[in-house]
Chains A and B, each alone.
Chain A
């Protein structure tokens, strides 16, 4: 990493913060709050443990929903692989389901499941499941026919092929699916909270805005951003470790696609 680039980035960051401060002085603290206030408030909320209390709620919804939706969705393409007729029959429904705007379903889930964690989990699960399914399906169908052919010649059964060739070959795609889904999962949890909740980062944003407490809003937004970026980094790290067999070129492309 070149020093000049780092310095540039630092300067850019400082300029943005300074600009923000200027705007808050010029327009008044109600509209933008100010970097100093936000920092203060952030530290205060973090110290009191309240910030984690709220973050935990959003995080739980996103995590449970991702697992609930993502795991069956990742397994389905492997099951469908050996049944092309079933796959063809289900295809329009899956594509259609993908096209349904899941966020619009939020009030429906709230109606059915109440106002606590459950509707948010359902919302997140519905979004993550489709993302992971289509990503995994692409991986399963991208299986290298030559590997399969060669393996058959030296005695591999269908189960061997699934275990040694299809599954490892598709794992990068499963990961890509989850990685792409992270911001959507958290976004869905937040939307659920915006509509109806009494806890969570989305709730903080909402209640802050209603109280004209812009500082709190920005604290919550910053926390959200940090959360998404951190989880992304974590997932990418896991991905890179699990996929260390990949030639460097492919890794680069995957990284770029994920950014």
Chain B
């Protein structure tokens, strides 16, 4: 950028360009400072400082406990995702075949969406005990409804004129399914999957809050019950970082494949 080519307005723009990243770092630093100040003011028993938190995370990492608990939670989330995801994604396709059934079930489906799935946790404990199955079923129920909702929205958005056109052209049901149904539902399902993974993780953690003997959620809850504030914050921090990392990774994948989708759809979180 030669000076002569720059009109007088450029330095202002340059200043503005720097202002945002600097501002962000400043806000981040201010938050950390506030945290530390809070620790001093309220006392480390209630609000462990950033240093303590990091120290505890480090301990957990070294001792291997972090790894063990993370694996448990991840396993529950992944299994639940597969079980719930397959069922949730497949059902709309099946229901599509009978619009009459779909219309008949509609109020029941709406009511089912109304129930906060998290309330089912104790019922699952009753049914499946405190073992892994409970958490898996719990995650599965969350993911099932998510993908079912999204898949249904996708199926309902199919343009019947397109289907009619293909039928007139002599296409078989199989081809119609592949060409129109699958392609219309695909972006909805993918968007559902993208939301489902972090939800599955946090679902597994919440399930562990209520009944578990291992896993990240168990660690947090256990720490709280023995008033180990550092443990609670460290655990929460780990879960947060994990979920955000998964979110970010999925964001990358989505940005590349489905960049055209409007923001509003994602907002359904």
Contact = CB atoms under 8 A, between A and B. Distances in A.
Instruction: State yes or no: do A and B touch (Cβ within 8 Å).
Output: yes
Interface of A: 5, 8-9, 11-13, 16, 31, 85-86, 88-90, 92-93, 96, 98-101, 103-108, 110-112, 131, 134-135, 138, 180, 183-184, 186-187, 190-191, 194-195, 201-202, 205-206, 208-210, 212, 214, 217, 220-221, 224-225, 228-229, 232, 257, 259
Main secondary structure of the interface of A (DSSP, over half): helix
A191 to B, nearest CB: 5
5 contacts: A99-B198, A104-B217, A194-B119, A208-B122, A225-B111
A101 B122 contact: no
Given A9-B103, A89-B24, A209-B126, A110 B224 contact: yes
Interface of B: 16, 19-20, 23-24, 26-28, 31, 46-47, 100-101, 103-108, 110-123, 125-127, 198, 201-202, 205-206, 209-210, 217, 220-221, 223-224, 227, 229, 232-233, 236, 239-240, 243-244, 247-248, 263-264, 267-269
Contacts of B20: 85, 88-89
Contacts, number: 167
B66 to A, nearest CB: 15
A217 B114 contact: no
A127 B107 CA distance: 27
B27 A224 contact: no
B246 to A, nearest CB: 9
Contact of A138 (B115, B233, B264, B269): B264
B155 to A, nearest CB: 13
Contacts of B28: 93
Nearest to A112: B46
Contacts of B236: 104-105, 107-108
Contacts of A85: 16, 19-20, 23
B126 A212 contact: yes
Given A104-B217, A191-B209, 14 more contacts: A9-B103, A9-B105, A9-B106, A89-B26, A99-B198, A99-B243, A100-B244, A104-B239, A107-B209, A108-B220, A209-B125, A214-B126, A221-B115, A224-B116
